[in-house]
Amino acid sequence: MLAEPYQVDVNSEVYTVVDAETSVYWAVIAGTATDEIFATLDAPGFAVQLERTDLASKALVNGLYCVSGYPVRSFPQLATTGYTVNYVLSAPGYRDLPVTVPIPVNASFPVSAPATAMRLLPVRIQGRVVSDATRSPIGGASIISIDDPSAPPSIHTTALRSPLYFAHANGAAVQQVAIAATGSALLSQDAASGSQVLNLSTRSGLAAGSIVSLTYASGVQLEYGVVASLGPGPASAAGQVNLTNALNRSYPAAGTTVAFVTATPTGGAATLSTDADAGDGVLLASQLFSQTVGAELGGPLAEIHAVGALSGSDGYYGLDGMGRVQEIFLQAAQGASQEIVDWFIEFDQPFNQVDFRL
């Protein structure tokens, strides 16, 4: 922006002068990102993604970063008006982290960004359960997470059969539930992973808020869905059932058992000890769960999950969405036989191999 022109008389000559704007390039925001689990961040490719083209950024692998620009251009009314800058912190192997920084009236630059912790992407823990004596596979063994046997923690880690469908806030209600079947149906069509629609042979007894379960491969795959609505046609007839959540896995029409169930809270109420992301395969809560658990029951984010994994007839099992903690204690058991493994999650490996001998 240029100032108003004015005239200067020099040596009997009249000059028209226009003062140009003087701009200063500043670091307007300074921040530090850490690692949620390991504290110190070491992330090649760590970057700040800005929507505004008038601002630039610089980021280092250790999480130090700044947002820079010309304050007089980016915040022209700063003497009387506050502003907000939104951006996203990203790094390979981490979830994107949106950040909002308020720029107050008459701010002194750089403004400090709020403390932020990057969250590692979850991985899969998988392996095989075999006989210690014969090395033959053991099917139907349960694999659950337990507390540290030597020092029970204040925050308990419960591994889930199927990852969370929704994000939940810190302090959200979670509670163990008892499952009881009230009816059943057949899948008329395969149900694909990511789908929110089931085609059932009957919908009798279902309504918005009802719960259905899908079981495949003798319980190795098990998911619960909350009914959002029924498709066209009489409720007693075959047709579509719309779920509030998208399925985590695929279920073929042949071999899948569909049940209509109720989920009755049992035991004491608990809460999440930190927020949870959709896709997390663990609950960090004030209580350890050993049976089916429900989150925010009765609300729009209600969801139900079986606890732990089950080995198939070939002895193999899998737990998806493993993260949020550095260390997890896994117990495999069948009958009186059991083994506990203390596992430090390798986040740089998408598949962590943890085998058991019973």
Structural domain boundaries of the chain?
26-118, 123-357
Half-sphere exposure of 76 (CA within 13 A, CB side): 3
CATH number of the 26-118 domain? 2.60.40
The per-residue pLDDT for 143 is 98
Model pLDDT for residues 302-339, shown as the tens digit of each residue:
999 999 999 999 999 999 999 999 999 999 999 999 99
Q: Are 143 and 308 in contact (CB under 8 A)?
A: yes
Model pLDDT for residues 26-37, shown as the tens digit of each residue:
899 999 999 999
Tell whether pTM > 0.85: yes
Distances from the Cα of 324 to the Cαs of 58, 117, 119, 279, 285, in angstroms? 28, 12, 7, 11, 12
Strands annotated E in 236-276: 239-243, 257-265, 270-271
Q: Which residue stretches of the chain have pLDDT < 50?
A: 1-2
Model pLDDT for residues 219-257, shown as the tens digit of each residue:
999 999 999 999 998 888 899 999 999 999 999 999 999
**Rounded to whole angstroms, how far apart are CA atoms 256 and 178?**
22
How many CB atoms sit inside 10 A of residue 126's CB?
Answer: 18
% of the chain exceeding 70 in pLDDT: 96
The per-residue pLDDT for 1 is 46
Is the dihedral angle over the CA atoms 304, 307, 313, 314 positive or is it negative? positive
The per-residue pLDDT for 23 is 57
The per-residue pLDDT for 276 is 97
For residue 59, count CB atoms less than 10 angstroms from its CB and return exposed for 0-12, middle for 13-18, buried for 19 or more.
buried
Distances from the Cα of 185 to the Cαs of 124, 230, 247, 259, 344, in angstroms? 31, 14, 17, 6, 42
**Rounded to whole angstroms, how far apart are CA atoms 80 and 109?**
16
Amino acid at 212: V
The per-residue pLDDT for 356 is 98
The per-residue pLDDT for 24 is 62
What six digits make up the tokens of 340?
A: 């506990």
Strands annotated E in 197-308: 197-200, 211-216, 221-230, 239-243, 257-265, 270-271, 282-285, 293-295, 303-305
Distances from the Cα of 73 to the Cαs of 68, 76, 241, in angstroms? 12, 5, 54
The per-residue pLDDT for 309 is 98
